[in-house]
């Protein structure tokens, strides 16, 4: 087996994807590591019960349909690029509600032989909850966003008039805002101009301030007037640092 820490390897598994289907059981894997290709499925065990290889199929989501695990090889690999998802379908008896252990042994380039061990659960249908729609491949496309906007309108019974209007590429919010659905309008006032003598900024600058706090812009504006009467402000960066809190998972 390749030396890939189990905690990192578990990132391949999409939690909550285990479910019963008319054909058997399925779950999803998403590449959250780096570009790779699947070259072999060695075995699949669910609760210590091994599923025959001929009963295992892979849906790569590329429109080519299901591919039998027996057809996967180094000569016929399945591309598994970063952020791409695969669905593993196993022909077997339906699983009972509750927690189950999944063990998948497989080979992938460039990692070699790997074994993924995870626990997931089959949820009781009575506990099924409403979920905000999202796109596993790219959740910042116009299609994904409009689907979410429609969901919010139908769920709340309220029309989104101004929220839908924005003038930037939603992809720039990735990593800063999940389930992006639109924007909120915040009042902006300007203070200044402020005279700056900096290492890079030289001259007079208007200072935009997004706020709903009364007197805030006016107070800054008066302060800048005093600074300007004193000859402006000199500024420089004397140090920069980033603080992080480490977490150790055992």
pLDDT in tens, 124-173: 665 567 889 999 889 999 999 999 999 999 999 999 999 999 999 999 99
Question: Closest by alpha carbon to 182, among 153, 213, 212?
Answer: 153
pLDDT of residue 248: 82
pLDDT of residue 225: 96
pLDDT of residue 189: 96
Query: CA-CA distances (angstroms) from residue 95 to 22, 47, 48, 117?
Result: 12, 10, 13, 17
| CB neighbour burial string for 176-198, b if at least 16 within 10 angstroms, e if fewer | eeeebbebeeeeeeebbebbbee
Whether the pLDDT of residue 1 is over 60: the answer is no
Question: Closest by alpha carbon to 1, among 118, 111, 119?
Answer: 111
pLDDT in tens, 83-110: 899 999 999 999 998 999 999 999 988 8
Whether the pLDDT of residue 174 is over 60: the answer is yes
pLDDT in tens, 17-73: 999 999 899 999 999 888 999 999 999 999 989 999 999 999 887 666 788 888 888
Chain-wide mean pLDDT for the chain? 89
pLDDT of residue 125: 60
pLDDT of residue 61: 77
pLDDT of residue 200: 87
User: Which residues, in sequence order, are CB contacts of 131 under 8 Å at separation 6+?
Assistant: none
Burial environment of residue 233 by CB neighbours within 10 A (0 to 12, 13 to 18, 19 or more): middle
Q: What is the DSSP letter of 201?
A: -
Reduce the DSSP state of residue 172 to 3 states and report it: helix
User: What mean pLDDT is predicted for residues 197-204?
Assistant: 91
CB atoms within 10 A of CB 234: 9
């Amino acid at each position: 087996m390749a030396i890939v820490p189990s905690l990192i390897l578990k990132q391949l598994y999409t939690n909550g994807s285990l479910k019963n289907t008319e054909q058997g059981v399925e779950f999803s894997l998403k590449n959250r590591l780096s570009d790779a290709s699947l070259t072999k499925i060695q075995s699949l065990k669910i609760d210590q019960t091994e599923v025959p290889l001929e009963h295992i199929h892979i849906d790569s989501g590329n429109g080519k349909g299901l591919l039998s695990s027996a057809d996967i090889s180094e000569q016929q690999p399945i591309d598994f690029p970063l952020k791409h998802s695969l669905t593993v379908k196993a022909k077997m008896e339906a699983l009972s509600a509750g927690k189950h252990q999944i063990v998948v042994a497989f080979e992938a380039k460039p990692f070699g032989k790997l074994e993924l061990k995870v626990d997931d659960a089959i949820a009781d249908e009575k506990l099924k909850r409403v979920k905000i729609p999202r796109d596993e491949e790219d959740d910042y496309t116009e299609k994904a966003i409009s689907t979410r906007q429609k969901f919010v309108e139908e769920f709340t019974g309220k029309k989104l008039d101004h929220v839908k209007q924005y003038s930037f590429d939603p992809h720039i919010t990735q990593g800063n805002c999940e389930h992006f659905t639109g924007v909120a309008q915040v009042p902006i006032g300007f203070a200044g101009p402020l005279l700056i003598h900096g290492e890079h900024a030289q001259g007079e600058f208007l200072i935009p301030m997004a706020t709903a706090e009364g007197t805030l812009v006016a107070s800054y504006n008066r302060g800048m007037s005093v600074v300007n009467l004193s000859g402006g402000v000199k500024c420089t960066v004397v140090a920069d640092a980033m603080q992080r809190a480490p977490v150790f998972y055992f």
